Structure 1
Amino acid sequence: MNLEQLKYPVGKFVKPESITKEIIGSAISEIENFPGLIKIEIQNLGETDLQLRYRPEGWTISQVIHHCADSHINSYVRFKLALTEDVPTIKPYEESLWAELPDNNLSPVVSLQLLEALHTRWVYLLKNLTEEDLNKEFIHPEQSERISLRENILIYGWHCQHHLAHIRQAKELKFD
């Protein structure tokens, strides 16, 4: 496997030409099932296993789970901002620096518990969005582009698949 395959085991996100209700529903299911799938993947892992990396110099399983909690909290807030403000500019954050903060030394189970609660609220919100809501947008300043909530649901459905694949890859390939 080359580095690109190790970084993107499910491929990079590709926005479909047309975003149908079925595609949105599938992405919401990915988001809904994600915490439970992580729980299954890590249930029998010891502390040493949680330090396995999905690629050389990549994050450990533990760091991936903490990252997902950070990322998904930010996404949830972005949805709420877009739903309550007129095309807000969201605040990006330095993922790699967040991954180095002291709370990442906690057990990943803490972040898994956070993901379980967060995803319960997030999925409830997503399942209750109207067509008008789905068309609302925010501006991501790093790319200087407008992102609709419809598209952001797909991005985070992909994000869940992406990092679940990282966890599975780390368990299989066992990079230290």
Structure 2
Amino acid sequence: MEKLKYPIGRFEFGKAYSAAETQAHIQEISALPSKLFNVVNVLNEVQLETPYRPEGWTVRQTVHHVVDSHMNAYIRFKLALTEDNPAIKPYEEALWAELADGKGAPVEWSLQLLKYVHLRWVMLLNSLTDADWERTYFHPETKRVFPLREVAALYAWHSEHHYEHINQLCIKQGWK
């Protein structure tokens, strides 16, 4: 079950990242919309309603979750860049996935939204100075301060994590 939940392993919090590693993370974030489109675009409605693991989200919910999460990440970056260590607003991602748009909206809507959110987000990330990358935000649930370099690493991981949920399901089911 651990491999189904974490197909690329768990994210390691608290690591320091170099500028070169951060550039690689930006590239991973940049690549996600087309990777996700390529794996999801060929699926039919029955396949989109298939959970990637027992008691897990469907492919459709996973795609919508990625967009919800990455829109929040983009806003969190902007908050950290314009405020001094702001407290971010957590959200109940599992409950968001159960809302009508998380369960029933066409995946094409989220794939388009992801494309344009990522275009803006990557543009912002590529504009950051070394001093900008040292900026932080505070997460009130974890009671942790997150430096932006670590946040970029987290969302590069998050991109690949959910891509692999869907990709591994497609391989296992013989859809690829």
Deviation, 1:90, is 0.4
Distance change (3 Å), C-alpha of 1:36 and 1:4: same
Aligned to 1:60: 58
In the TM superposition, what are the counterparts of 1:1-176 in structure 2 within 5 Å? 3-15=1-13, 17-104=15-102, 105-174=104-173
* Percent identity between the two aligned chains: 46
**TM-score, normalized by length of structure 2?**
0.94
Gaps of 5+ in 1: none
The structure 1 segments of at least 4 consecutive aligned residues displaced by more than 3 Å after TM superposition are 15-18
Q: Secondary structure at the match of 1:146?
A: strand
TM-align CA RMSD: 1.1
d(CA) in 1 for partners of 2:38 and 2:81? Answer: 33
Q: CA deviation at 1:14?
A: 1.6
Q: Structure 1: how far apart are the matches of 2:16 and 2:139?
A: 21
Could you list the runs of 5+ residues in structure 2 that have no partner in the other structure?
Answer: none
The answer to which structure, 1 or 2, has the higher relative contact order (CA under 8 A, 6+ apart) is: 1
Provide, for residues 126-145 of structure 1, a one-character-per-residue CA deviation record: whole Å limited to 9, x for no partner: 01101111000000011101
Q: Which amino acid aligns with 1:6?
A: L
- Report the TM-score, using the length of structure 1 for normalisation: 0.94
Q: Is the 8 A contact 2:14 2:150 kept in 1?
A: no
Deviation at 1:169, TM superposition (A): 1.8
